[in-house]
Amino acid sequence: MTPRERRVVAVGVAVVLLTWLATRVLHPAARAVLERESRIALLQDRVERLQRLAADSAGLREQAAATERRLATMPRRMLPARSAPLAASAVQTLLQEAADGARLAVNRIEVVTEPDSSGALAASIMAYGDIHGLAAFLASVERGPRLLQLRRLVVQQNSALRGAPDVLSLSAQVSAPVMLDGIMPPSPAGLAAADTGAAPEAARQPPDWQDALVRANLFSASRTAPRTRFTLPGEQPPAEAPGMDPNAESPASADTPQLTLVGLFGNSERRAALIDDGSGGDARVLHIGDRVNGWRLQRIDASSVRLERAGQVRVLRLLRTPSSDSSE
């Protein structure tokens, strides 16, 4: 090998060694130095922020205490959760607990797993029960411990349960504002009044409309509150409903025979009405104050009679065909 060739080989070996040294030693060392400087700058920034927080610790503690005091006075709070699926599970549990507390039998509960633009989860529930359960469920939605907004409510008599005219089927759609991982959602419309910091004692007061809804029992043919609560499948029959008079007349049901005014007779001092009670027997002659099927004859007019029971009024008119009831 000539001296020239030896020099070329030596130069090539040196270049290879320098390239290996640069890629395997110098470049990783330089990158480590740069990353160390970046980590040092990041740690310094964190230290500065922690120092600022420590300097403001007294003010932060006061703000936290004020927030806790404000939350303690609120009868209702937003539902917190770490993620949207966990929030949906919590909403489902919340609706199930509200239905159980109201003695409603749940058929189905569905919750959307993603919040809408207002930060609320939409949910729906289908259940059945009596008017007491409906009123209690609506009260729980209105004044429960968590914020719920009733969007849609459909109530109808449960035709599938024959012989149980007081059992209602209800379908409700609600929305539940949720706070995911501590982030407050935009304030939905209509929640400002619910977040005013009302006293917790007021939340425990039963709403005025709850008793009125039970007494009116708008979804029943009798328009009278049922004397006993609805019994869930597998449970023992409950005691008589609170506030109901045990000596009160039993409410009419869908199976109650139709009353028909057959005729009127007598003079102005002693008028009488001939009423068919639907039992299949002869029509009964009734004077003012007499009762038929629990209804008391209150007044006899020229072509109609007025019946009263438990604050409810029925008017029977003298027609050739059985008359329909109306309220005054």
287-311: per-residue pLDDT in tens? 888 888 888 898 888 888 888 887 7
Alpha helices in the chain (DSSP H): 3-21, 27-55, 57-73, 84-101, 131-143, 200-204, 208-216
Query: Mapping DSSP to helix (H, G, I), strand (E, B) and coil, where does residue 304 land?
Result: strand
Kindly report the pTM of this predicted structure: 0.49
How many residues can be counted in the chain? 328
pLDDT at 138 over 80: yes
Residue 155 main-chain phi, psi, to 5 deg: -125, 135
pLDDT of residue 64: 78
pLDDT at 196 over 50: no
Is residue 199 very low, low, confident or very high in pLDDT (cuts 50, 70, 90)? very low
Residue 5 and residue 1: Cα distance in Å, rounded?
Answer: 6
Dihedral class, residue 46 (left if φ above 0, else alpha if ψ from -120 to 50, else beta): alpha
Is residue 249 very low, low, confident or very high in pLDDT (cuts 50, 70, 90)? very low
272 with 265: CB under 8 angstroms?
A: yes
Is residue 173 very low, low, confident or very high in pLDDT (cuts 50, 70, 90)? very high
Average pLDDT of the segment spanning 109-135: 89
